[in-house]
Amino acid sequence: MSEKRLLEIQQIRHITQTVFTIRLDRNDIQFKAGQHIGLGVKEYPYIREYSIYSGEDDNFLEVLIKEVKEGTLTPRFKACSVGEQLNMDGPSGSFVLDRDSLKNKTFYFIATGTGISPFHCYIKTYQTINYQLIHGVKTIEESIDREEYEKGRYISCTTGDQTGEFNGRVGQYINANPVDPDGLYYLCGSGKMIYEVNSILQSKGIPPHQIFWEIYF
């Protein structure tokens, strides 16, 4: 059973007009990279789940949020102030990496939008991980914190213009390029993307036990 508590906001960082991070006091909370927490504000009974964006060894908890204008919580989160407290429960979730595979496997992280969160957490946590990150966004301005990834390991797939490394959906990128038959493939984002990429990977010979996903609403 998850424990509910109050955490104080340390920082709010606006990345685009609708995407931002909230950094919270960690208060010795332990989690595994890839897990999520539930967040809420005092005046609402609702909790919304967010994958943890920060690494296991950071002294804070950070989440990546996209504002939904008609949403109940995300506009309120965007209007929060440093020092305000948020309700939190968790952490929970099983979208975690097999530590034994870190020694000899290549990881392919495939995301759309803020679905990049657990992958950012993996990469911050496991400093020597061998990975390729493929990120679907509308324009290059939505390539969140791309400067944090090693050169050549981050590929942006832009659908709104031709500013990314690839022009088109992440599914089109996977379809147009060879796949690593021994790689492990982790998918996080919209259900539509996950269905498309999972089907393409299997059609290219990747067995289901090498594909993992988490749908990001």
Q: What is the pLDDT of residue 217?
A: 59
In eight-state DSSP terms, residue 208 is G
Shortest CA distance to 136 belongs to which of 52, 204, 66, 193?
Answer: 193
**pTM value > 0.75:** yes
Beta strands 19-25 and 60-66 are: antiparallel
CA distance 143 to 164: 9
Residue range 84-115, pLDDT digits in tens: 999 999 999 999 998 899 999 999 999 999 99
Q: What is the pLDDT of residue 2?
A: 52
Q: DSSP H helical segments within 13-151, as ranges? A: 74-78, 117-125
CATH number 3.40.140.10 is the correct assignment for the domain at 99-215: no
pLDDT at 194: 96
Report pLDDT digits (tens) over 153-171: 999 999 988 888 999 999 9
Identify the CATH number of the domain defined by range 4-92: 2.40.30.10
Break the chain into its structural domains and give their ranges: 4-92, 99-215
Mean pLDDT of 37-43: 91
pLDDT of residue 3 exceeding 80: no
